[in-house]
Amino acid sequence: MQLLSEELLRSLGEARHVMVLTGAGMSAESGVPTFRDAQSGIWEKFRAEDLATPEAFEANPARVWQWYEERRAIVRSARPHAGHQALVMLESLVPELSVITQNVDGLHQLAGSKKVTELHGNILRSKCHVTGRPISAEWLSGSAHAVPPSPYVSGGFARPDVVWFGEVLPRQALEAAMQAAVQCDFCISAGTTSLVQPAASLPLMALEHGAAVIEINPSETPLSPHADQCLRGLASEVLASLVNQLSSWKHDSGQGR
């Protein structure tokens, strides 16, 4: 297992605010397939634009709802892994930790992370396609329709409360994420291709504002050349090892809290 360099370990140990940005690779080991991997079976012939855009939903709400029903079933049975647990532990080792996630499965919160910002919404929540107002699970379960109707707008539908391609991110979440990026002194980017904006810019913003930035990913990404260190491996193993390293460093340097 590749270890964090001594210098970066010290930066992490002395950091006042740590930001962790997570992507689909973080959930992969919990059995939640990435968008691309999920497009198997009957879904193979569809492109992302056929399943995850407002236009796709308006053209064929039943198809899109069905796709999300299957995704929700997978998410409901998924459990956090050692990497999620490591981030819960990290919360107790640093003064402030902000977890910013592109994932819509709620696994960080299920693991016990307290300060989580969901940039792309949450698949287990639904909202009115017309007004954006939240729709309760009780309302949905009471519906026998292929796509539950909106309780607010006649002829309107319920839709998953996730950010589809071409949609803007929830303002509060984006503001919180940008604030964390400019304020943090250590940033960890884990399990993301660093391609989808605006999330991909967050580690670069952190870098510009003087933070140390590391990447955890088995593969190279556009962030890799800018990162202070790239730890090539699985999020579960690398995060667990990172937190172990930090605990030992704190203990050895007399900074255990």
Query: Which residue numbers are catalytic?
Result: 120
Does 193 help bind ligand APR (rule: CB under 6 A)? Answer: yes
Q: How far is the CB of 38 from ligand APR (least distance, A)?
A: 10
What are the φ/ψ torsions at residue 164 (nearest 5 degrees)? Answer: -85, 165
Q: How far is the CB of 210 from ligand APR (least distance, A)?
A: 25
Using CB under 6 A as the criterion, what x/- string covers residues 14-33 for binding ligand APR?
---------xxx--xx----
Does 51 help bind ligand APR (rule: CB under 6 A)? Answer: no
Q: How far is the CB of 36 from ligand APR (least distance, A)?
A: 6
- What does the DSSP 8-state code read for residue 114? S
Q: Which of positions 88-147 make contact with ligand APR (CB under 6 A)?
A: 102, 120
Using CB under 6 A as the criterion, what x/- string covers residues 200-219 for binding ligand APR?
----------------xxxx
CA gap 220, 200 in Å, rounded: 14
DSSP string, 130-189: TT--EE-HHHHHT--SSSPBPSSSTT-BEEEEEPPTTPPPPHHHHHHHHHHHHH-SEEEE
- On the 0-12 / 13-18 / 19+ scale of CB atoms within 10 A, 42 is exposed
Which one, of 167, 182, 184, lies nearest residue 98 by Cα? 184
Q: Which of positions 223-252 make contact with ligand APR (CB under 6 A)?
A: 234-235
Which one, of 114, 103, 119, lies nearest residue 190 by Cα? 103
Q: How far is the CB of 128 from ligand APR (least distance, A)?
A: 21
Smaller CB separation from ligand APR, 18 or 235: 235
Does 4 help bind ligand APR (rule: CB under 6 A)? Answer: no
Q: Which of positions 55-84 make contact with ligand APR (CB under 6 A)?
A: none
* Alpha carbon separation from 8 to 3, 73, 76, 96 (Å, rounded): 10, 40, 37, 17
Q: How far is the CB of 120 from ligand APR (least distance, A)?
A: 5
End-to-end Cα spacing for the chain: 26
Q: Which residues bind ligand APR (CB under 6 A)?
A: 23-25, 28-29, 34-35, 102, 120, 191-193, 196, 216-219, 221, 234-235
